[in-house]
Structure 1
Amino acid sequence: MLILNSLSYIHPDKYLLFDNISLNIATGNKVALLGNNGVGKSTLLKIIAGLLPPSQGFIQTDTKPYYVPQVFGQYDHVTIAQALQAAGKLNALQQILNGDTSDVNYSILNDDWTIEERCHEALQYWQIDDIDLQQIMSTLSGGQKMRVLLAGIYVNNPEFILLDEPSNHLDTAGRILLYDFIESSASTLLIISHDRKLLNKLDTVCELTPDGINVYGGNYNFYAEQKKMELQALNEDVRDKEKSLRKAREKERETIERQQKLNARGKRKQEKAGLPTIVMNSFRNNAEKSTSKLKGVHAAKTASIENELQELRKALPDIDTMRFGFDDTLLHKGKILFRAENINFSYNENPLWQHDLNFEIISGERIALKGKNGSGKTTLIKITLGRIKAGKGSVYSAINNAVYIDQDYSLINNNLSVYEQAEQFNNGALQEHEIKNRLNRFLFTKTSWNKSCAGLSGGERMRLMLCCLTIANQAPDMIILDEPTNNLDIQNIEILTTAINQYNGTLIIVSHDAIFLEEVGITRNIELI
């Protein structure tokens, strides 16, 4: 069981990340923790894991959580055995088998005589049994490191598990193993993920917001349906409030016009009656005060409705404002952009692919480039872009303008400000105000223009990259996206999906996110083995 009571966290720079968080998770529950980038999901998981102290409130758990972080460079200097949290027991077992039967070794082993066997079984399950327990973690790929940390769950058999984006570095085979583990596990699970296939295998969704945690009693599809209903209700509230505002303004105008007519009629009667000037002035002042008071009452009502409407509109998603708006005139669908005939590439005289590759890329296609980690996807992308040459075979390319966007959005220059980065793509002589309008459209307001790109989150880098492409205006022949959703929350994945679906050129995507590939309309796959 997990109990969070009135939990708050303030960054060392005095920034309040979240406040008064309360949540109960029953033993055996499988729970997703969702929320926009920067809302504090990973920080909350670290607090639950005991790696960070809360600024306020308390945490109660029945058992120590087993924590798998999203970023794991801190393990690079340790061995596989240490990353599995089994090094001490393995060393004690080896000492005993070598004849050292001291009480210290027996105490460390704690009768766990199957520890070595479990380590090998765990590595075998996660299909990394070709690595040695004494191997250093830094020698492994990102996907292998994640598998090692997940293997530690099997070795330690914890009752409560915290996972932060566990599918990020896994290929399709690794994700299938992860899904099977989640479905079969009897442990309590709390998982941060944007992998919607994974999220649908959990039974509760908790959404962390700046205002607290909202709990939805179902999987991701249930949550998405509830959010859709909430959005429909919000849109209805916006329309009702807009209607109320129109009526209030109309009522204000009619009331002021009526009062002005009464004032004019009264003035004419007073003039006919030949009243003294001082009396006339008094009547005029009273009429003006009465009109002013009416205006004030209606202005206050109108301002109140306007403020309520503004708050409602702030809660609406901004996805529809982020459109490419490319000039597609130079795109010619059906044209052969690239052809490969019997190509291969060698490392240390060993061919990368089992069979030579033969394929064409036709303008307008949407292709998923698939293969296990290490299958040569990035190498093939570089050959397609002309950055390296195939060691064997021939290629034909009619690609004039291609954009390659990797998972870190490294086309963004960390040494530039947001505005300076946007200006780098201004090859159409846009005026400064036009560039800033584009930035505003992609949620980079005036306060962000001088912000360093180095400080941008994954979602912000993605939005800035999309904005830069709109500033360039002319649609590229081809856009290549390499694991584009890895560092994005679900909201930003929706933004990316919406933008991509407006692009009419050729698209090549490397991704293990099956739902994302389906939503962007992949037409065929190129599978590397």
Structure 2
Amino acid sequence: MSLINISDLTFAYDGSYDNIFENVSFQIDTDWKLGFSGRNGRGKTTFLNLLLGKYEYSGTIATNMQFEYFPYEIEDYSKLTIDVIHSIHFDFQEWELIRELSLLDVSEDVLDRPFSTLSNGEQTKVLLATLFLKENSYLLIDEPTNHLDSKARRIVSDYLKAKHGYILVSHDRKFLDHCVDHILSINKTNIEIQKGNFSSWWENKQMQDNYEMEENEKLQKDIKRLTKAAKRTSDWSNQVEARKIGFDPTKTEKSLTRRAVEGAKSKKMMKRSKAIEFRQCQAIEEKSKLLKNIENAEQLKISPLSFYTKTLVNLEDVSIFYGEKQACSNVSFTIEQGDRIALCGKNGTGKSSIIKLICGEQLTYTGKLEKSSRLVISYVSQDTSYLKGNLSEFAVLHNIDESLFKTILRKLDFTRTMFDKNMESFSGGQKKKVLIAKSLCEKAHLYIWDEPLNFIDVLSRMQIEELLLQYQPTILFVEHDTSFCETITTKRINL
């Protein structure tokens, strides 16, 4: 067992006035299988990069561990896969690599193929196998599930479960539940570590949030009651004080002791007023400690259009080709109004090709595709690399209401400072939220989303689930988050 001690860690990017971390202290046991959770932009990848020594910071990170980060940067995708692996890690036995590939359900013949010809899922598995060849390093695994199909996610989660300690960034709830035993969460105002998986952490968080909201409600009532009582007691005290001064007790009440009686009563009232004020200050102080880490997950809205016929799209025996290569064969299904269809299948079975064909991309295909020319489609692509410039320019370019667009992003946990930044500086999850917010601004008959949840944090996933269940737009989507699919799908198409 080794420890990673973080003490008074403070960090901000150059040119930024906002600290990502401020005086943060906690401790990590390297035997833990540590799931790393938090909303997009809170600094998960930044923290991993701080462990790697990529940035200067104040405070201390004390450990004797060597760190290894996933995913690796690949300089030349045209190289053979075995050469790509050697460029990352040159000191290994080939039988060890083949063992790791076998555990990940990858055939060893991929080693003799150009890395660029592997599917996204195959590339991810090969790089994970390479990562686990480095047995003497502490592994920092950042979003390994992106582009992995459901079966591959189960294989990788089983694979990770059998491994030693690591830090794993993921927003897939079932994936985390299966292969972590501690959760490190970046909250609004602090960082905390709890023993257990994601579900147990989420249950504890909801209990804590509910407790704080109940306490907040009680304290608000107490403060209101004490404020009235303090004012009432203060008024009484002032009245008594006024009666004590400015009159002759021998003429008014024929009593020489009256002034002393009024003085004692005034003093008692003043003391009581100060006690109430003290209790009021205590209640306000207690209230100020609450609700700081409660995440705002406001409801999202969408405005789907109604189509004049029940059937929106019909495919019959569709096969798609890229040159001589066949992407999919004999695909048949119908999209009707109100359907929420999950397009499922292993990586490389043609899911994205089907989506592109329906969206109107000029692909070579056989079979029959029927859709109305008046069908309005809103599309979210996998790719976010083209996002450049600021959000206002993006809204103008795509002819969407800027105010509505930014309101949706605020509900998806964008801070107002993000609105002044260029999208090149956004995290992967924030870029994906830009595309989803754009789609939610668009009035469409059919929404088509290709892996919309890549990099998206858990709370935002739940917001999107609630949106789709409440407004029930017609949607065709590719997504490998099992929890999401089980919650919102009305029909599954298996390729």
TM-score range, shorter chain: 0.7 to 0.9
- Cα distance between partner residues in 2 of 1:76 and 1:511: 26
Aligned to 1:42, which of 45, 52, 61? 45
1:23 to 20, 27, 48: 27
Matched residue, 1:505: 473
Q: Which residue number in structure 2 is paired with residue 2 of structure 1? A: 2
Pick from 375, 389, 397: which aligns with 2:371?
Answer: 397
Say whether the 8 Å CA contact 1:83–1:152 is kept in structure 2: no
* Aligned partners of 1:344 and 1:351 also within 8 Å: yes
Offset of residue 35 of structure 1: 2.4
Residue 523 of structure 1 aligns with which residue?
490
2:6 and 2:60 in contact (8 A); partners too: yes
Aligned ranges 1:275-354 → 2 under 5 Å = 309=287, 312-319=290-297, 321-324=298-301, 326-327=302-303, 330-331=305-306, 335-354=310-329
SS in structure 1 of the partner of residue 108 of structure 2 = coil
Q: Which amino acid aligns with 2:40?
A: N
Q: 1:413 to 1:317 in 2, by over 3 A?
A: same
SS of equivalent residue, structure 1 residue 497? helix
Deviation at 1:189, TM superposition (A): 2.6
Q: CA RMSD in A?
A: 4.1
The alpha-carbon distance between structure 1 residues 266 and 9, as it changes in their structure 2 partners (threshold 3 A), is closer
Cross-structure match for 2:427: 457
Pairing of 1:403-442 with structure 2 (within 5 A)? 403-408=378-383, 414-416=388-390, 418-422=391-395, 441=411
Query: SS at 1:379's partner residue?
Result: helix
SS at match of 1:200: helix
Name the CA shift for 1:441/1:117 in 2 (closer, same or farther; >3 Å): closer
Percent identical across equivalent pairs? Answer: 24
Structure-1 separation of matches of 2:38 and 2:393: 30
TM-score relative to the length of structure 2:
0.79
| Structure 1 gap segments, 5+ residues each | 90-108, 275-293
Which of 346, 356, 363 does residue 382 from structure 1 map onto? 356
Q: CA deviation at 1:510?
A: 0.7
Q: Distance in 2 between the 1:295 and 1:441 partners?
A: 43
- Counting matched residue pairs gives 470
How far did 1:339 drift? 0.6
Q: Which runs of 5+ in 2 are unaligned?
A: 253-271
Instruction: Map residues 226-265 of structure 1 onto 2, 5 A cutoff.
Output: 226-252=204-230, 254-255=232-233
Judged with a 3 Å threshold, the aligned counterparts in structure 2 of structure 1 residues 452 and 116 are, in CA distance, closer, same or farther, namely closer
CA-to-aligned-CA distance 1:467-490 (integer Å, 9 cap, x gap): 445555x4x212222112211222
The structural deviation recorded for 1:460 is 3.4
Evaluate the alpha carbon distance shift between residue 367 and residue 130 of structure 1 in structure 2; reply closer, same or farther with a 3 A threshold. Answer: same
Residues 446-466 of structure 1: CA distance to partner in whole angstroms, max 9, x if unpaired?
Answer: 544433333333443444445
Aligned 8 A contact 2:380 2:436 in 1: no
Distance 1:176 1:436 in 2: 36
Q: Distance in 2 between matches of 1:41 and 1:141?
A: 27
Note if 1:145 corresponds to 2:123: yes
1:166 aligns with 2:144: yes
* 8 A contact 2:209–2:291 mirrored in 1: no
Per-residue deviation at 1:267?
11
1:199 to 166, 176, 179: 176
SS of 2:109 mapped into structure 1: coil
Structure 1 residues 462 and 265 mapped into 2: Cα distance closer, same or farther (>3 Å)? farther
> Alpha-carbon deviation of 1:368?
0.7
Distance 1:206 1:305 in 2: 31
**Partner secondary structure for residue 312 of structure 1:** coil
**Matched residue SS, 1:508:** strand
Q: Which amino acid aligns with 1:10?
A: F
Using the size of structure 1 for normalisation, the TM-score is: 0.75
Deviation at 1:501, TM superposition (A): 2.8
Contact 2:37-2:186 within 8 A present in 1 as well: yes
Residue 21 to residue 369, structure 1, CA distance change in 2 (3 Å): same
**Deviation of 1:3 (Å):** 1.5
Using the alignment, how far apart are the partners of 1:427 and 1:298 within structure 2?
54
The 2-side partners of 1:163 and 1:304 are apart by 45
1:367 deviation in Å? Answer: 0.9
**Aligned-pair distance for 1:179?**
1.9
Contact 1:383 1:390 in 2 (8 A): no
Residue 232 of structure 1 and its aligned partner are, at CA, apart by 1.2
When residues 435 and 31 of structure 1 are mapped into structure 2, their CA distance, relative to the original with a 3 A threshold, is: closer
> Match of 1:33?
36
